[in-house]
Structure 1
Amino acid sequence: MDNDFKSLDNNRLESNILFIGQDSCPPNYFFRGNNVRSNYVLHYILDGQGTFSSANRPAVSLKQGDVFLLPKDVPCFYQADGEHPWTYLWIGFAGAKVKTMLDGSKLSSQRYLRQVQDSQFSHYLKLLYTTLRHGDSLANDILTEALTYQMFYQLVTEFPGKSSQTGGKAQKHLQLAQNYLEQNYRHSTCTVASLCDHLGLSRSYLYTIFKKGLTISPQDYLTRLRMEEARQRLRASTEPVRQIAGEVGYHDEFTFSKAFKRYTGFSPSAYRQTRY
């Protein structure tokens, strides 16, 4: 099997792209590793065909020009065809912002898209992959950031999910709330109470629209933003835990460490030791 894999250092601005790769699979090849991922892996089929399935979804046959997503924490299975095995590229993403953008598209619920090769989404996906293969530089990092958001913009506009199509006041309030939390979660003053004050909305109303739109509470969403960034910083740097705690919105290391262990099952120091 022709294989190309590149792990990224994650020092890019905010894109949280972890790795990229490309495979030309032999007939009937299937991935034998852990089929439950701790991140989001987007695959684009360059040639050939195969079968893809994920939890609570029927198996589908996919071919050149199709896309499939391995969602975070969801069991998936995919296998190359016996006669015309596929070649695909992939990009691995992490972070709560990625989930938010994916949730705005049909890809999040369906987990695959057919015949996207003539779309702007496909164009920017392949352009992003090519850019990520280049050497690290500030200019390349800025371009990566721009292409990442352009790709997701095209995804949610060309292949919108049902919630994006229906819109409505609650959806607009939810988007405003997400934007506020995503822009301010690094500050310790960012709380659900400050969110309510900022938008002029009640805590119970915010809880309802978050649970309906994202299946989690506003507090859990805020915690996830902080914990996902903390995970990336622990994995990519040697910064002291106390410093990371302050950079993701916690007053003290002890409170941060308790929250991090509840979220991941590991203490920050133990998680850092197992990051490879």
Structure 2
Amino acid sequence: MNTKTDGPGFDFCAFLDYDKSDEVRLYEIGRYVAKTCYSYGPVIRPRGILHYVTSGKGMLQIMGKEYSIHEQQIFFIPAGISAYYIADSEDPWTYCWAHLGGSAMLELFNECELNEMQPVRDVKLREGETKSALQRLMDDLFENYEREYFSIAKTYELMDFLHSSYARSEEETNESLQLQYVRTVIKFIQLKFSEPIHVEDIAMTCGLNRSYLSRLFHEATGSTIKDFLSTYRVNMAKNMLKKTDNTIQFVAFAVGYSDIFTFSKAFKRITGMSPSEYRSSPDI
């Protein structure tokens, strides 16, 4: 971990690389007190970066558009997108930032419709507040950034703030009830794949007839629920076979199979090779 506090305009910067989880990653945080007309870019970053303007004003250029940004607004620059921003000539901004990643984080930005086409949002202060909830959250993060799990917990709080502030409710989306059932099936499998679950169990969770749920799922995904479950289990097993020394029998039980024969048969059907062949293959 590296920190910087004495560069031009820098108030604080920490390079964290908290990336143990595939779902939520925190790479860097910082605060910048900009001088008049200080500019950055155009630049393309390999990771998304969220900015929170705590005072002053500035301008963002992204996707051929300009956005005038002021105190108590956030702006998001996705990974792989060119952006340029500059502090105001009379009231230069101060902003916090966080480099963020992970599958859950990307899904959240999608739910909030924070993207290169809609990069700016207002941060609302409650009546009587002098500091926003987001400001208090970022202050806590900056004061305790060396504590990895604390920092990740604060990142989840940040996600909750974004979701509660900007994500559309189910009533506001065009997502059909059928698609919601499909999402429930996928989440159920992701949570319960290591247990001896069956399609009947999933249908009961959704409160639907098995045949009807199976038809909905197949129409939406092109796969049967049973095949999706088998494929998910095998993908989890592939990861374990490559990254651990556990026996094949242990792996089979760990991903929800009651015997090694059924597991090996499913594994070969999906991958074209046996579990032992997959483990010993150096190119996969």
TM-score range, shorter chain: 0.5 to 0.7
Residues in 2 aligned to 1:129 and 1:170: alpha-carbon distance in whole angstroms: 42
CA contact under 8 A between 1:28 and 1:82: conserved in structure 2? Answer: yes
Which residue of 198, 206, 231 maps to 2:220?
Answer: 206
Distance 2:59 2:172 in 1: 29
Whose helix proportion is higher, 1 or 2? 1
CA contact (8 A) 1:20 1:89 kept: yes
State whether structure 2 residue 92 is matched by structure 1 residue 82: no
* Shift in alpha-carbon separation, 1:103–1:257, aligned structure 2, 3 A: farther
Give 1:54's aligned amino acid.
I
Question: Contact (CA 8 Å) 2:137, 2:158: kept in 1 or not?
Answer: no
* Aligned residues of 2:26 and 2:152 also touching (Cα < 8 A): no
8 Å contact from structure 2 (residues 26, 155) kept in 1: no
Name the amino acid aligned to 1:21: G
Question: Contact conserved, 2:44 with 2:83, CA < 8 A, in 1?
Answer: yes
Q: Match of 1:147, SS?
A: helix
Where in structure 2 are there 5+ consecutive unaligned residues?
1-7, 204-212, 223-227, 256-270
The match for 1:123 among 133, 137, 148 is 133
Is the 8 Å Cα contact of residues 43 and 68 (structure 1) preserved in structure 2?
yes
Paired position in structure 1 for 2:266: none
Query: Alignment RMSD, CA only?
Result: 4.4
- 1:15 maps onto 2:24 in alignment: yes
Shift of 1:125: 5.6
One-letter amino acid matched to 2:69: L
CA shift for structure 1 position 24: 1.0
| Partner SS for 1:110 | coil
For the residue of structure 2 that corresponds to 1:179, the secondary structure is helix
User: Based on CA coordinates, which of the two structures has the bigger radius of gyration?
Assistant: 2
Q: Equivalents in 2 of 1:89, 1:159: separation in Å?
A: 19
**Matched residue, 1:29:** 38
User: Does residue 1:136 correspond to 2:150, yes or no?
Assistant: no
Could you tell me how far apart the structure 1 residues matched to 2:82 and 2:140 are? Answer: 28
Structure 1 unaligned residues grouped into runs of 5+ = 209-217, 231-240, 259-276
Count the aligned residue pairs.
220
Instruction: Give the SS at the match of 1:82.
Output: coil
For 1:85 and 1:145, how far apart are their aligned partners in 2? 30
CA distance 1:86–1:124, shift in 2 (3 Å): closer
Residue 112, structure 1, aligned to residue 120, structure 2: yes
Cα–Cα, structure 1 residues 54 and 102, in superposed 2: closer, same or farther, change >3 Å?
Answer: same
Residue 257 (structure 1) shift: 5.9
TM-score (norm: length of structure 2): 0.59
Higher relative contact order (CA 8 A, sep 6+): 1
1:54 is displaced (CA, Å) by: 2.0
Task: After TM superposition, list the pairs within 5 Å mapping 1:58-97 onto structure 2.
Answer: 58-97=65-104
